[in-house]
Amino acid sequence: MKIAAALSLALMVALAASPQFGLAQDDDDDDGPTIEPAYDIVLDLDNDGKLDRVATVQHPDSAGSDLYVYLGQGEEKLDLTRKPDLFKKDIATERISDLEPGGDGSLLLTYGCGGCSNDYETTLTIVYRGGKFLVAGFTQDWATREGIGSCDINFLTGQAVASRGLEDASKAERKFKPVKLTLANWSEDEGAVACGFAGVGH
């Protein structure tokens, strides 16, 4: 009995810690919470000829957002109660301002803080390669009390370009060994490190 009780407790803890995808309700059901996407787009992210669906959901009590990716379900109605092929919690800690298809099946996700004392805008380029979701690129522009600048990192080609200032901006170009950064392990710290490597940070 003690073993059964311990297993039951472990299962409850695991369920409480895992993402929950069963909060959305039918349109004609007014009871219970709902999940409404901030953005909902279709594209062929895995380049298999079938449309995929990508959505973001903003946290109700903050500017942060989560990312949902459903492969092969671009022709279907979005259903956030279904477990996605990829769920990335806190993909952005600031409000997402755009989500759109890029070239060659890539996904461009832009977020930032405009009108703040320290403004910045970040764009992640997300791709699906070799069965994995990767952050292929990181672009950021900022205007802070310390100055303005930008950096553009391509992790797959190993190229980085950074600048500081507007007129006669100083630019730095770097090359490094290409890396594969999985979206599941991505954090904003990776971007800060990349910008610092390129020769400029904020």
Q: How many whole angstroms separate alpha carbon 197 and alpha carbon 164?
A: 14
b/e burial code for range 102-131 (CB count within 10 A of at least 16 → b): beebbbbbebbbeeeeeebbbbbbbbbeee
Domain span at residue 81?
36-198
> Which tens digits make up the pLDDT trace of 81-107?
999 999 999 998 888 999 999 988 999
Longest CA span, the chain: 74
The pLDDT of residue 63 is 81
CA angle 110, 111, 113 (to 5 degrees): 145
Residue 131 zone, left/alpha/beta (φ > 0; ψ -120 to 50; rest): left
- Would 14 be classed as within a structural domain? no
**Of the candidates 78, 70, 80, which has an alpha carbon nearest to the alpha carbon of residue 50?**
70
The pLDDT of residue 197 is 60
- Would 75 be classed as within a structural domain? yes
**Of the candidates 71, 97, 96, 90, which has an alpha carbon nearest to the alpha carbon of residue 82?**
71
- Would 28 be classed as within a structural domain? no
- Would 19 be classed as within a structural domain? no
Instruction: Measure Cα distances from 102 to 12, 176, 181 in Å.
Output: 41, 24, 18
- Would 176 be classed as within a structural domain? yes
**Residue 161 or 8, more confident:** 161
As for how many domains the chain has, the answer is 1
**Residue 5 or 192, more confident:** 192
Asked whether 93 and 120 are in contact (CB, 8 A), the reply is no
> Which tens digits make up the pLDDT trace of 106-115?
999 999 887 7
Backbone angles phi, psi at 53, to 5 degrees: -125, 135
- Would 177 be classed as within a structural domain? yes
Q: Which two tokens stand for residue 171?
A: 């630019």
> Which tens digits make up the pLDDT trace of 116-141?
777 889 999 999 999 999 999 999 98
The pLDDT of residue 56 is 96
- Would 69 be classed as within a structural domain? yes
- Would 7 be classed as within a structural domain? no
**Residue 200 or 48, more confident:** 48
> Which tens digits make up the pLDDT trace of 1-57?
443 444 343 333 333 333 444 444 444 444 444 678 999 999 999 999 999 999 999
- DSSP bridge partners of 123: 110, 139
The pLDDT of residue 167 is 59
The pLDDT of residue 8 is 42
Q: Which two tokens stand for residue 60?
A: 């109700």
The pLDDT of residue 89 is 93
